Amino acid sequence: MSSAASRRGEAGDGWNAHAYARDARFVAELAMPVVELLDARPGERILDLGCGDGVLSQAIAARGADVLGVDASAELAAAARARGIETIVLDGHELADSSQIRGRFDAVFSNAALHWMKRDPQAVVDAVYQRLLPGGRFVGEFGAAGNVAPIHDALRREAQARGLDADTIDPWYFPTEAQYRERLEQAGFVVEALFSFERPTVLPSDIGRWVTTLAGPFVGAFAPGAARDDYVAAVRDRLIDTLRDAQGRWTAPYVRLRFDARRAAA
Ligand code: BEZ
């Protein structure tokens, strides 16, 4: 789900599979409708682009499909492999040129990953198109314009306040419906469905954990210890009045962009 450069941090590539399972299991659980939309059939060959720890790859494989997972994080790819998913460590931007991936696919699936591929989103979409068989489908969901906006804003402002250039460290690409439709069509896809929707999500833990687990490039820009702790605390303080309720529960205002696009039949 990721650009290696974006998903960095002190533990190797910045992803911690244990923390991800603890604080972000909802990422996969809430994406089951995307697996339904993919509608994988027995024997189909499916690429899971940004497979993370492989929970959804496993759900797709359970339908009898042959799934190859790719993820820029070696840590998460290893977790996917431990679930029995064949997995390659690869940044989505390298999809076009990688000799590790052989042949073409009936479908490319992607959940909560494309927003990490910010450097050249069009190159990623073009590469997906090239990796599909004629008639193949590209089905996915990721952050749309406005996704986690107050959190994103707080991360950027507190980074700027500490002398960092937020544009340089900001790893996320959250397009509008129109922007992503245009990318898909430019690559040659026929867009069957594409829409965005708000999905406020009650978090399983404090927002500080969300920030530490899921906003690695921001947090990793600060040295471990006081500087980092101060940054996370300041982000939290900015959000407490708007995102935490009287019972102490935190809600993240996710906005998703879901799509189903097809490569023309030969
Ligand atoms: C998302 O799935 O929308 C997301 C995940 C991590 C950071 C930012 C957004």
- In short, whether 254's Cβ falls inside 6 Å of ligand 1 is yes
Of 147, 153, 170, which is best to mutate to test ligand 1, by the most ligand atoms within 8 angstroms of its C-beta? 147
Q: Is the pLDDT of residue 6 over 60?
A: no
What confidence tier does 3 reach under pLDDT thresholds 50, 70, 90? very low
8 Å CB contact between 129 and 157: no
Domains in the chain, number: 1
Q: How far apart are CA 2 and CA 71, in angstroms?
A: 6
**Averaged over 23-42, what is the pLDDT?**
92
What confidence tier does 12 reach under pLDDT thresholds 50, 70, 90? low
Give nearest CA residue, ligand 1 atom 3: 143
Q: How far is CA 96 from CA 37, 77, 128, 180, in A?
A: 25, 19, 8, 19
Residue 114 is assigned to a structural domain of this protein: yes
Residue 246 is assigned to a structural domain of this protein: no
Of 1, 20, 27, which is best to mutate to test ligand 1, by the most ligand atoms within 8 angstroms of its C-beta? 27
Q: How far apart are CA 251 and CA 254, in angstroms?
A: 9
Q: What are phi and psi of 118, to 5 degrees?
A: -90, -25
Distance (Å) from CA 112 to ligand 1 centroid: 6
Residue 245 is assigned to a structural domain of this protein: no
What confidence tier does 32 reach under pLDDT thresholds 50, 70, 90? very high
**Bridge partners of residue 193, in order along the sequence:** 260
8 Å CB contact between 105 and 65: no
The CATH number covering residue 45 comes to: 3.40.50.150
8 Å CB contact between 107 and 137: yes
- In short, whether 112's Cβ falls inside 6 Å of ligand 1 is yes
Q: Is the pLDDT of residue 196 over 70?
A: yes
Residue 212 is assigned to a structural domain of this protein: no
Residue 4 is assigned to a structural domain of this protein: no
Rounded CA Rg of the chain: 18
DSSP 244: B
Distance (Å) from CA 25 to ligand 1 centroid: 12
Q: How far apart are CA 72 and CA 49, in angstroms?
A: 9
SS3 content of the chain, % helix, strand, coil (to 5): 40, 25, 35
- In short, whether 111's Cβ falls inside 6 Å of ligand 1 is no
8 Å CB contact between 198 and 253: yes
Per DSSP, the residues of 164-185 read --HHHH-------HHHHHHHHH
Per DSSP, the residues of 45-67 read EEEEET-TTSHHHHHHHTTT-EE
Q: How far is CA 152 from CA 169, 211, 233, 236, 254, in A?
A: 12, 10, 15, 12, 11
Distance (Å) from CA 43 to ligand 1 centroid: 31
Q: Assign 164 to helix, strand or coil.
A: coil
- The whole-number pLDDT of residue 11 equals 42
- In short, whether 218's Cβ falls inside 6 Å of ligand 1 is no
Residue 158 is assigned to a structural domain of this protein: no
Q: What are phi and psi of 257, to 5 degrees?
A: -120, 115
Q: Tell me: the pLDDT tens digits for 36-74?
A: 999 999 999 999 999 999 999 999 999 999 999 999 999
- In short, whether 28's Cβ falls inside 6 Å of ligand 1 is no
Higher pLDDT, 22 or 167: 167
Atom of ligand 1 nearest to the CA of 152: 8
**Averaged over 184-208, what is the pLDDT?**
97
Segments forming the whole domain that contains residue 186:
17-147+172-204+254-262
Residue 78 is assigned to a structural domain of this protein: yes
Residue 154 is assigned to a structural domain of this protein: no
- Helix axis angle for 226-243 and 207-214, nearest 10°, is 130
**Residue in the structure block whose two tokens are 């965005």:** 196
